[in-house]
Amino acid sequence: MIIDTHAHYDDEAFDEDRDTLLEQLPSCGIALAVNIGASIRTTKNTLDLMKRYPYIYGAVGVHPSETKEMTEPLMDWLREAAKQPKVVAIGEIGLDYYWDEPERDIQKHWFIRQLDLARQTGLVTVIHSRDAAKDTLEILKGEKAGDIGGVIHCFSYGAEQAREYLDMGFYLGIGGVVTFKNSKKLKEVVAYMPMDRMVLETDCPYLAPEPFRGKRNSSLNLPYVVKAVSQIKGISEEEVIAVTSANAKAMYHIHDQERIL
């Protein structure tokens, strides 16, 4: 059974068939999925999905592009939300310089504040970093975030950056991009990294693997990612599934329970 460590099933792309899709995940080989908050609104949606489905877990947090909305009272709300039993991480948090808004100082401030929230709550982090390699690494090192742990979501940098994060104890999230013909850099990272630091993710509805690139993604497409990793690493697909699922449980501190097997 595969674990999807990063999904956005509250996205409007799923409005027409969300329940139908989520209900079929277990019978299609998906043990569980972690729905990730990206704003206060989507974090609230995540909490609702967690309550409705035993195999949906959640992360609470505010994406860097949404940090302009943040206030200290909302941080207090996140702190309370993080106490719910099936919340397994603070995320997704980090830096995004692709759109370069809100201002970088705002992104950095709330990144650090949410790292502190993870430390206070004992939860790991889901780190978003886009076109912000240097600043992300500097903040994580400066805040000693390796002591907190978590995953560099949708890893998009090269092997040298991968080594830095792996040395800090982070996992790397590998998804549909690894199947793209032009993903040479990510394929090199997958070949380089140890299997015991890899987790699988979709970031659905985004980043669907080949042959569905450009279409809506879902956890049902993870076997294509498994196949790509299997070919790169020279191991069986069964081993990829077993190792990455064990990694996901260890990373998120989800222990074997009847309801998620």
Predicted confidence (pLDDT) per residue in 176-226, tens digit: 999 999 999 999 999 999 999 999 999 999 999 999 999 999 999 999 999
Helix/strand/coil (H, E, C) string of 55-119?
Answer: CEEEEECCCHHHHHHCCHHHHHHHHHHCCCCCEEEEEEEEEECCCCCCCHHHHHHHHHHHHHHHH
Instruction: At 11, give phi and psi (nearest 5°).
Output: -60, 150
Distance CA(167)–CA(38), nearest Å, equals 27
Is the sign of the CA dihedral 242, 245, 251, 253 positive or negative?
A: negative
Rounded to 5 degrees, φ, ψ at 246 are -65, -40
Q: What is the pLDDT along the chain (261 residues), one digit of tens a residue?
A: 999 999 999 999 999 999 999 999 999 999 999 999 999 999 999 999 999 999 999 999 999 999 999 999 999 999 999 999 999 999 999 999 998 889 999 999 999 999 999 999 999 999 999 999 999 999 999 999 999 999 999 999 999 999 999 999 999 999 999 999 999 999 999 999 999 999 999 999 999 999 999 999 999 999 999 999 999 999 999 999 999 999 999 999 997 443 333
Handedness of CA 83, 84, 88, 94 (dihedral sign): negative
Token output for 89: 């991480």
φ/ψ of 206, rounded to 5, equals -95, 165
Residue among 47, 60, 58, 44 at smallest CA distance from 254: 58
- Give counts: helices (H), strands (E), the chain: 9, 8
The confidence score (pLDDT) of residue 207 equals 98
Separation CA 96–CA 220 (nearest Å): 28
3-state helix vs strand vs coil in the chain, percent to 5:
50, 20, 30
Q: Collapse the DSSP code of 5 into the 3-class scheme (helix H, G, I; strand E, B; otherwise coil) and give the result.
A: strand
What confidence score (pLDDT) does residue 45 get? Answer: 98
The pLDDT tens digits for 108-133 are 999 999 999 999 999 999 999 999 99
Q: Beta 2-7 vs 171-174: how paired, if at all?
A: unpaired
Residue whose pair of structure tokens reads 């498994």 in the numeric block: 226
Which structural domains are found in the chain, ordered by start? 2-260 (3.20.20.140)
Its pTM stands at: 0.96
